[in-house]
Amino acid sequence: MTSPRRRRLVAGNWKMHRTGPEAVELIQQLRDGYTPGRAEVMVAPPFTALESASRALEGSGIALGAQNVHWEPQGAFTGEISAGMLRAVGCTFVIVGHSERRQLFGETDAWVSKKARAVLHAGMRPVVCIGETLADRDGGRTLEVCSSQLHGSLAGVAVEEMNHVVLAYEPVWAIGTGRNATPAQAQEVHAHVRELLVRLFGRPVGEAVRILYGGSVKADNAAELLGQADVDGALVGGASLKAQEFLAIVAAAT
C-alpha cells in the first residue's frame, strides 16, 4: 500500500467541458456527497469556469486546479494565462505537460519544466505528467520514454522544491480510449519513476513524492490500481465529470 507519508490525491481534469454555471452545478453535486478524509481531492475546470468554481468550492475541502499555464509572469502572450493569475483566482494546483498538450499542441519537456518552475515560484503545486504512446509501449520503450520525460520536465527544479511537486503517469494509449494499464503495468512504471526520483533527488524526497496514475480511471478499476505500492492517487478525466463516479474513485482512495 501507499506509504503513510504520502497522502493520496485524486485529481479531476475536466478538460474542455463545463461552463461556469455547469461547473457550479457539478461542484454542488460533489459537495453533497463528499466528506473530507484521508485523501486529498482536486478538480481542474476550464479557465473560464475557474472563478465560479473557486467560489463554489469555498469551505468544501476540495482544492482548485488549472489545466495549463504559461511560464512568463506577464507579457504579450495572447490567449495565455500566467501562474499569478491562477493563484489569484484560488488555484493551488496546476497540471503541466498533459499528454494532450504534448501530442496536440507540441509541448516539449523544456516547456513543461518552465511551466512547473513558474507554478512553484507562484506558490502552487505542479502536477507534472509523463507517459508513453502505444508505439513506445509496443516497441519496449516505456521506461526509456518516461525516464527521458521525467529528466527533461523536472530540469531546473531544486531538491527542496520537489516536496511541492506531484507526478502523474498517464500512458497516452489509455487516455479516453476505455483501455487502461493493468495494475501490474502501472506499478512497474511507478516503481521505476520512484527509483529515478531517488537517484535524482535523494531517497527521502524520492520516497515522499506522490505519483498519480491517469488513463481511463473509473470507479470499477480504481481500487485495484490504488492498491499498488507506488500508486499514490489518480488523475481522472472523463469520470470526473460524473459526480457519483468521481466520488466513488475518491472513496477508493480513502
Owner of C-alpha cell 468550492: 57
Note if 151 is an active site residue: no
Q: Are 206 and 195 in contact (CB under 8 A)?
A: yes
Q: Are 89 and 122 in contact (CB under 8 A)?
A: no
What is the spatial distance between Cα 148 and Cα 142, in angstroms, rounded to a whole number?
10
Q: Are 67 and 88 in contact (CB under 8 A)?
A: no
Q: Which residues contact 54 (CB under 8 A, 6 or more apart)?
A: 64, 89, 90, 91
Q: Are 239 and 218 in contact (CB under 8 A)?
A: yes
Active site residue: 40, 107, 161, 170, which one? 170
What is the spatial distance between Cα 191 and Cα 196, in angstroms, rounded to a whole number?
9
Note if 98 is an active site residue: yes
Active site residue: 40, 98, 132, 190, which one? 98
**Would you please indicate which residues are annotated as catalytic (active-site) residues?**
98, 170
